[in-house]
Amino acid sequence: MKKEQEEGLKIEVATLTVTVVVVMLSLLCTCGASNLDPLILIPGNGGNQLEARLTNQYKPSTFICESWYPLIKKKNGWFRLWFDSSVILAPFTQCFAERMTLHYHQELDDYFNTPGVETRVPHFGSTNSLLYLNPRLKHITGYMAPLVDSLQKLGYADGETLFGAPYDFRYGLAAEGHPSQVGSKFLKDLKNLIEEASNSNNGKPVILLSHSLGGLFVLQLLNRNPPSWRKKFIKHFIALSAPWGGAIDEMYTFASGNTLGVPLVDPLLVRDEQRSSESNLWLLPNPKIFGPQKPIVITPNKTYSAHDMVDFLKDIGFPEGVYPYETRILPLIGNIKAPQVPITCIMGTGVGTLETLFYGKGDFDERPEISYGDGDGTVNLVSLLALQSLWKEEKNQYLKVVKIDGVSHTSILKDEVALNEIVGEITSINSHAELGLSNLFSG
């Protein structure tokens, strides 16, 4: 009898031990999950999918655009506008370009789609639109997939603690007093997403993680909302490869067209469309950052610096860009305010980046000779580091700068060293209470 009692006691102790272990493990898992601050990804220019639909107002330039492109449509006539691999075929390149083109209406002081072309951004709130620009071509259109995979290994889950904020990247923002219907709606949608992400995670403030152009939108969002809102909803802002002062590469795009690495595309076929982009106008080199002395475009007749943008736009044959540039863009980029939200800038350096364009014949249809300087292959170093110079006297702005040698503008989203740096920063932010604002600059 005594032996049976001892055996029973052993079983009870063992059962109790197992129960305690299970409860402890459950608590550990719960604590681990609760340590994750909600995280929102904001992509760069061309960094998410776009869809389009054609209405009766659409007037195609060719029979091919009317009858043959695209070959595949979704229900209700929607089709993939970006990225569609058929763009590499010249007849379809023209169709793509005319459907991507924006039109500035001076009387309404805003940008609009080509008449008859409706566009939409799929999967807002999710990371689905950011992983691949075309899910059928994962190997060649991968974008944020490696980054999202790394975040999921930390425990982040799409729609729960991890969110995506895709947008129509052709549109930008304008200075105060000027309408920017599409860009402003994105800021409103992003603000709502931030609040929803926080509320669904027990009121935790949100980490914002942007790439490239996305960083400019985030900074505008922060500065367009009161300090009380920022303090409540934003824990930290991580900006990857942000072109704070624009990029010389954009002057190349405006002058001669840019294939963005897509093979077989004639850059002159997409040049007008690229010039029409409101966000591209926003990304031209900031005169305050690049200064009046630095020669950027050199021709036999004239040399252009960032301060000569009006003459440059006229001389390349794009005078219609002058008015929106002078009235909407210059005032917008003239005062880049510190939002007093903790910011970490992570960037690649040491990659040859377009620095000066030489047009020997003065013909912008020709490909120029190019000299290169430091940067991430797309954005110049002086632009990547612009916040450091602009805010050096700011007393209440936490700013950390992380440079990664040899990492390019887009490879920062998949390079192992870069991903480890990004994940490490997020882990550090998750493990600490809200940072006290201090004047911290580190390289």
pLDDT digits (tens, 9 = 90+) for 165-181: 999 999 999 999 999 99
Determine which of 26-35, 152-161, 313-322, 341-350 has the lowest per-residue pLDDT on average: 26-35
Q: How many CA atoms lie within 13 A of 212 on its CB side?
A: 26
Amino acid identity, position 156: Y
Taking only the tens place, the pLDDT of each residue in 259-288 is 877 777 899 999 999 999 999 999 999 999
409 catalytic residue (yes or no):
yes
pLDDT, mean of residues 246-250: 98
Cβ atoms 350, 385 nearer than 8 A: no
Please check whether residue 209 is in contact with residue 342, taking contact to mean a CB–CB distance below 8 angstroms. no
Average pLDDT over residues 201-210: 98
| 306-313 average pLDDT score | 98
Range 400-404 contact pairs with CB under 8 angstroms and sequence separation of 24 or more? 400/343, 400/344, 400/345, 400/440, 400/441, 400/442, 401/344, 401/345, 401/347, 401/441, 401/442, 401/443, 402/344, 402/345, 402/346, 402/347, 403/347, 403/348, 403/349, 403/443, 404/346, 404/347, 404/348, 404/349
pLDDT digit string, tens, across residues 322-363 = 999 999 999 999 999 999 999 999 999 999 999 999 999 999
What lies within 8 Å, CB to CB, of 402 at 6+ separation is: 344, 345, 346, 347, 421, 425
Distances (CA, A) of 405 to 88, 149, 408: 33, 23, 9
- 266 counts as catalytic: no
- Which entry of 376, 383, 408, 411 is annotated as an active-site residue? 376
For the cut 80, the answer to whether the pLDDT of residue 407 exceeds it is yes
Over the stretch 95-107, which tens digit does the pLDDT of each residue have?
999 999 999 999 9
pLDDT digits (tens, 9 = 90+) for 59-87: 998 888 877 767 677 778 999 999 988 88
Token pair in block for residue 144: 């944020």
When pLDDT is averaged across residues 123-142 and rounded to a whole number, the result is: 96
Beta bridge partners of 208: 40, 237
Across all residues in the chain, what is the average pLDDT? 90
Taking residues 389-401, report their average pLDDT.
96
CB atoms within 10 A of CB 225: 16
* Catalytic-residue membership of 86: no
CA gap 71, 310 in Å, rounded: 41
Residues with Cβ within 8 Å of 400's Cβ and at least 6 positions away in sequence, in order, are 343, 344, 345, 440, 441, 442
What pLDDT is recorded for position 34?
Answer: 55
- What structural domains and CATH numbers belong to the chain? 38-430 (3.40.50.1820)
Catalytic residue among 150, 198, 210, 212: 212
Kindly tell me if the per-residue pLDDT of 31 is higher than 90: no
Measure Cα distances from 44 to 78, 201, 358 in Å. 23, 26, 28
Give the active site residue among 279, 409, 411, 415: 409
Q: What confidence score (pLDDT) does residue 223 get?
A: 98
Q: Return the higher-pLDDT residue of 157 and 15.
A: 157
For position 30, what pLDDT does the model report?
Answer: 39
